[in-house]
Amino acid sequence: MKTIKPNPYNLKPSKGMTLIETLIYAALVSIVIGMIVVVAFQVMQGSSNLGDKIFLEEEANFILKKIEWIISGASIINSPDPGDSSNSAFSVDKFGFSGAENPVAFGVSDGEISIQRGGGLPITLNSSFVTVENATFTHIAATGTVPAGIIVELSIKTSGSPSGRQYETKTYLRN
């Protein structure tokens, strides 16, 4: 025969959760859900900021590569004058372009950078989501065996960004 041992603590068997236990569990679940929401929001915001930075880098790279392509195939720099800088435009004559396509000019106006071939209409290079805040084109004079060139400094920002990034390239004419 089995004997039943008496309960030394004189506890009654549990028949459910008390109100206090329910409140504690609800509070713990709320804290965990709140933390998950905060982390998810930070991940989404970080992804958006990273997307803006990548977009800005791609736009800047496109603009600078287009400028380098024009300058590297240029026969002469028309403006600015050697040793001078311009905050709005520069102009070159490019090899292989007909007289009607020369000069090729870059200009900055109202947050847009554009290229114009000969007497044609200017074509905007940057998208509407990117603003060119500042641009400086400095003509490097030819010296000895070093050909003339241009230093291009751009400050570009996305429409959602409070501040821009600085980009610079130095390109020389072909000899």
Strand arrangement, sheet containing 104-109: 74-79, 89-94, 104-109, 112-117, 123-124
Mean of pLDDT over the chain = 85
Most confident of 36-40, 75-79, 127-131: 36-40
How sure is the predictor about 14, in pLDDT bands with cuts at 50, 70 and 90?
low
What residue type is 113 in one-letter code?
Answer: I
pLDDT at 6: 63
Which pLDDT score, from 0 to 100, does residue 79 have? 85
Counting residues of the chain whose pLDDT is more than 90, the rounded percentage is 17
Contact 155, 131 (CB under 8 A): no
DSSP label at residue 5 = P
Q: What are the pLDDT digits (tens) for 22-43? A: 899 999 999 999 999 999 998 8
Mean pLDDT of 156-163: 79
Q: What is the pLDDT of residue 145?
A: 87
Average pLDDT over residues 129-136: 88
pTM for the model = 0.69
Residue 85 pairs in a beta bridge with 138
With a pLDDT cut of 70, the percent of the chain lying above it is 90
Residues 6+ apart with CB under 8 A from 86: 79, 80, 136, 137
- Provide the residue ranges of all domains of the chain, joining segments of one domain with +: 37-172
Q: What is the C-alpha separation between 171 and 64, in angstroms, rounded?
A: 10
DSSP category for residue 98? -
